[in-house]
Amino acid sequence: MTLVLWLKSTLIVLLAKELTDPLYILPFKRQNIYREKRRMQKIVVLTGAGISAESGIPTFRGSDGLWEGHRIEEVATPEGFRSNPELVLDFYNQRRQKLLSSDVKPNAAHIALAVWEASLPPSDFLLITQNVDDLHVRAGSKNVVAMHGELLKARCLDTGSVFPWYMDMTLQTPHPEKADQLGRLRPHIVWFGEMPLEMEQIEEAIIDCDCFVSIGTSGKVYPAAGFVQMTPKECWRVEINLDNADNSGAFDDSFVGRATEQVPRFIEAWKQRFCS
C-alpha cells in the first residue's frame, strides 16, 4: 500500500515537473530542446533606415524619403561626387547637422537591441547596420558593423585614411593632418558601385548564425538584401518591418509594425521561446 502511494506521488511529481519543465524527464525531448537552445546562440541583426525613422531620420525610399528631390546617381555614386562635389557635400552636410541636432536620439528599438546584446556573450551577437547614423552606438550597442559607412567620419581621397568628422565639409576644408591640402576629403560613405565595408566579417557571421533578424530595410539594395539567403538552413530568419520588403519571402517569421513596438516584442518572444 505504502509502495503504491509512494509510486503514485512520485509519478505525480514527475508529471508536474514534465509539464512545468520540459527538460526534466524525457531524454529525447531534453536533447531536442537543448539543441534548440544551442541553435539560438549566434545572432546576427541587420538594420536599415526603418529603425531610425522614429528617431526623426527619414528613410530613403518612402514618401518624404531622403531621395525625394534628389536623383540617387547625383548624390550617392562616385560619379555623382566627381561631377558635382558641392551638391554631394551639401547633401551630407545637411544630414550630418540633422544627426547632431538635439532632437535626434536613439529610440526604443535601438535601445532594446543594445540591452539584448548586453545580456548575451559578446561573441554571439553581431549587429550589421546599413545606416550611416550612429544611433546604435549611442544606444549602447557594442558589436556593430556599419557596412555603408558613417556620416560622422571623413575619408581622405588620396590615402583612404578615415577621421572623426562633425563639421560641414566643403571644397575648401583643410585636411586634418596636412593643413595645406584643401578639398581632399569625402564623406566616409559607401556609394552605389563601391564595395561595402567589413564584408569578410559579415559573411563569416552570417553563414554561421542561428538567428537572423532583419529590421526596417526594404530589401532593395545588395549585397545586404541577399544576406538572408546566405544563412544556414536551420537558421531562424525573422523580419521586422512596417510593410513588405522585396525579400520578405525568404523569412520564416514576420513582425509587422513599427520598429519601436515590434523589436521589443520580438526580443520578448525570443526570450520566451529560448530562455524560459
Residues with a catalytic annotation lie at 148
Q: How far is the CB of 194 from ligand BJW (least distance, A)?
A: 6
247 is a contact residue toward ligand BJW (CB under 6 A)? no
Q: Among 53, 112, 113, 213, indicate the residue that binds ligand BJW (CB under 6 A).
A: 53
Q: Among 40, 45, 49, 185, indicate the residue that binds ligand BJW (CB under 6 A).
A: 49
Q: Among 37, 39, 41, 54, indicate the residue that binds ligand BJW (CB under 6 A).
A: 54
Q: Among 174, 193, 232, 249, indicate the residue that binds ligand BJW (CB under 6 A).
A: 193
85 is a contact residue toward ligand BJW (CB under 6 A)? no
Q: Scan residues 3-32 and list those touching ligand BJW (CB under 6 A).
A: none
User: Are the C-beta atoms of residues 91 and 120 closer than 8 Å to each other?
Assistant: no
DSSP letters for the chain: -HHHHHHHHHHHHHHHHHHH-TTSS-HHHHHHHHHHHHHTS-EEEEE-HHHHHTTT---SSSTT-TTTTS-HHHHSSHHHHHH-HHHHHHHHHHHHHHHHSTT----HHHHHHHHHHHTS-GGGEEEEE---S-HHHHHT--SEEETTEEEEEEEETTT--EEE--S---TTPBPSS-TT-BS-EEEEE--TTSPPTTHHHHHHHHTT-SEEEEES--S-STTGGGHHHHS-TT-EEEEEESS--TTGGG-SEEEES-HHHHHHHHHHHHHHHHT-
Looking at the Cβ atoms of 113 and 245, the one nearer to ligand BJW is 245
130 is a contact residue toward ligand BJW (CB under 6 A)? yes
Contact flags string 161-190 toward ligand BJW, x per CB under 6 A: ----------------------------xx
Of the candidate spans 22-30, 60-68, 152-160, 174-182, the one that interacts with ligand BJW by CB under 6 A turns out to be 60-68
* Cβ within 8 Å of residue 22, ≥6 positions away: 29, 30, 33
Give the binding-site size for ligand BJW (rule: CB under 6 A). 36
Q: How far is the CB of 131 from ligand BJW (least distance, A)?
A: 6
Looking at the Cβ atoms of 148 and 175, the one nearer to ligand BJW is 148
Looking at the Cβ atoms of 136 and 258, the one nearer to ligand BJW is 258
Interacting residues with ligand BJW (CB under 6 A) = 48-50, 53-54, 59-62, 65, 76, 130, 132, 148, 189-196, 199, 216-218, 220-223, 241-243, 245, 258-259
